[in-house]
Chain A
Amino acid sequence: MFRNRSMAIMVGITNYKFEITNSLDKLRAILRRDLLTAIRHRSGFVVTMVGVFTELAAFYFLSRAIGPGFRPGGIEYFPFLLVGTGVYTFFVMSTQAFLGAVQEAQQTGTLEVLMTTSTAPAELVILSSISAFAGNLVNLLVYLFAGVAVFRAAIHANVFSCLAVLFFSLAIALALGIAAATLQVAFQKGSALVWLLGSGLWFLSGTMFPIQSLPRPLEFLARALPLTYAIDGMRRALLEGQSITEMAATLAVLAGFGIILLPLALAALSLSLRRARQDGKLSFY
């Protein structure tokens, strides 16, 4: 009896290790595919870098035009803009990149084929979204680095707090990306979420000015958005150097959003994929 149980545990551990190794191997394959594709779009990298510097220059001169008197929350305006627009762009561009990959896979018929591989659809979507978000995380780091190195934004970073905010923000961003993919598979309208993020949420999330400037009902709405806490948290961690203890409330809210949104998005995606297989609409776009 004891021996059987030990053997069962051993088999369980071996299977678990096998699954982890397989998932890491798949993630490596997906990252490699996306990296090679990005590199081979020869002008893509240059255009992105030119875009980064143009945007930063615009914000730098905007903050100079407004003058040093405007210090939202006691922070200089250029670093305030730098973090706000950097985090906001990370959310929108990652969601858009992931959605774009799903749409392209539908158009070429690759999505149907991917769904017949030995990899479970949910695992495939999570691994693919990690790849899409990793690329945009690099863009965010380049953006912040350029803001500090070229445009002399003053920062007082607490690395642990930054990493904690980044971790929870990533979970929320993944959920948004998966939600967009769900809308795309179910109604061929994933772009609606990207449109909402791109047009409606930037002014509600404190990207360019503090949410306290909004009318009371809109401020209330802004406080219900995870993006608001991600931007605020990153500003406090990167610009004010607040510790994890000082930021406990913000981190708890971010964690709460991640814990609720990620499983919900995954369940919705699973349901929409099953429905698409039932209706034969997996490759509709």
Chain B
Amino acid sequence: MDRIVFESVRKIFRHRPALFNWLGRERGGETIALKDLSFSAQLGEISVLLGPNGSGKTTALKLLSTMLLPDAGSVRVNGFDTRRDASSVRRQVGIAVAAERSFFPRLSARENLDFFAALDEVPRPERAQRIKEVLRDTGLEEQADTLVMKFSSGMYQQLGIARALVKRPNVLLLDEPTRSLDAAAAAHFWSTIRALARQQSTVLLATHNFAEAAAVADRLLLLHRGELLADRSVGDGESAVALRSFYFRMTGEEEFVIGNL
């Protein structure tokens, strides 16, 4: 069964200059973030949205999490439409956003997780145990009782992942999850994600990191300027170098990059 379905999804952001900003250079216009995007993701599958900055990866994740609504087409999670059944969708989905500071700075990591777990309706008797598990899985066990205002970028990122995992979502959305992690923490994280997929979670991960895509992807969705350029499976042992060359071949950017090396 398809856990995630995008059907001809279009998303446009319209910009209006601020009132009385005649003297500034700000002008109105629109950005087409997604152009009739269609794809689906299966149960237990790790799909990687690969693309450059501004290709629409984060927009796709935000549409799935109900942070955004599509302008046309439909987005469904486990059969629930994000527009009509937003609350049912939110119960299924966990998201780790790239924004690092989306926590309450004067609460500890454990207190932040407890707060979000309550809002995610994690049963109270199970909460402490689950928080302990996700803190261990994300390598934050020793910093569990540190106020998050003292965290580094990498620790914020680990905590974001822990927050997404604590509700045990059917669908896990990750936006550049290892951007601020060191190599060892990233490798540990990738193995956690693979284990999650084996437990029947569907994972959609947005990245422009070829090593990350090669490490975890079952499927590759190549996004470029809001359009899906490729949707294919990733073979076992397919290297980051192979993915990189595929990416540049598909986007037509290869010559430019090689020419500048």
Which positions in A face B, CB cutoff 8 Å?
22, 25-26, 28-30, 32-33, 36-37, 40-41, 108-110, 112-120, 124, 274, 277-280, 282
Contact = CB atoms under 8 A, between A and B. Distances in A.
B68 interface: yes
Contacts of A117: 90, 116, 119-120
Nearest to B89: A116
A30 B116 CA distance: 10
Contacts of B3: none
B115 A274 contact: no
B91 A25 contact: no
A115 B101 CA distance: 16
19 contacts: A22-B121, A26-B119, A32-B111, A36-B106, A37-B107, A41-B106, A108-B103, A109-B97, A109-B102, A110-B102, A110-B103, A112-B102, A113-B163, A114-B119, A115-B67, A116-B90, A118-B91, A118-B167, A278-B71
A18 B157 CA distance: 33
B97 A113 contact: yes
Given A26-B119, A113-B95, A33 B67 contact: no
Nearest to A38: B106
B87 interface: yes
A69 to B, nearest CB: 50
B104 A116 contact: no
Contacts of B62: 112, 280
Given A33-B107, A36-B107, A113 B147 contact: no
A29 B119 contact: yes
A113 B14 contact: no
A277 B121 contact: no
Contact of B67 (A30, A37, A116): A116
Contacts of B101: 108-109
A243 B93 CA distance: 53
B38 interface: no
A277 B66 contact: yes
A209 to B, nearest CB: 38
A105 to B, nearest CB: 8
User: By CB atoms of chain A within 10 A, which of B66, B90, B114, B118 has the most?
Assistant: B118
Interface string B78-98: 000000000100110101010
A226 B140 CA distance: 50
Given A40-B147, A113-B95, A277-B66, A29 B114 contact: yes
Given A25-B118, A119-B119, 18 more contacts: A22-B121, A26-B119, A28-B118, A33-B104, A33-B111, A36-B106, A36-B111, A37-B107, A41-B106, A108-B99, A110-B104, A112-B99, A113-B95, A116-B65, A116-B90, A118-B90, A278-B69, A279-B14
Nearest to B66: A116
Contacts of A36: 106-107, 111
A118 B106 CA distance: 23
Contacts of A33: 104, 107, 111, 115
A278 B95 CA distance: 19
Given A25-B124, A113-B95, A118 B147 contact: no
Contacts of B104: 33, 37, 110
Contacts of B107: 33, 36-37
A33 B91 CA distance: 22
B13 interface: yes
Contacts of B120: 117-119
**Closest CB pairs A-B (n = 8):** A29-B118, A109-B99, A109-B102, A117-B119, A40-B106, A116-B65, A119-B119, A110-B102
Contacts of A279: 13-14
Contacts of B97: 109, 112-113
Nearest to B103: A110
A30 B114 CA distance: 10
Contacts of A26: 118-119
A279 B107 CA distance: 31
Contacts of A120: 87
B150 to A, nearest CB: 12
Contacts of A274: 69
A277 B106 contact: no
A116 B93 contact: yes
Nearest to A112: B67
A110 B102 CA distance: 4
A231 B131 CA distance: 46
A112 B66 CA distance: 9
Nearest to B108: A36
Contact of B121 (A37, A108, A113, A119): A119
Nearest to B14: A279
A118 B111 contact: no
A101 to B, nearest CB: 10
A271 to B, nearest CB: 13
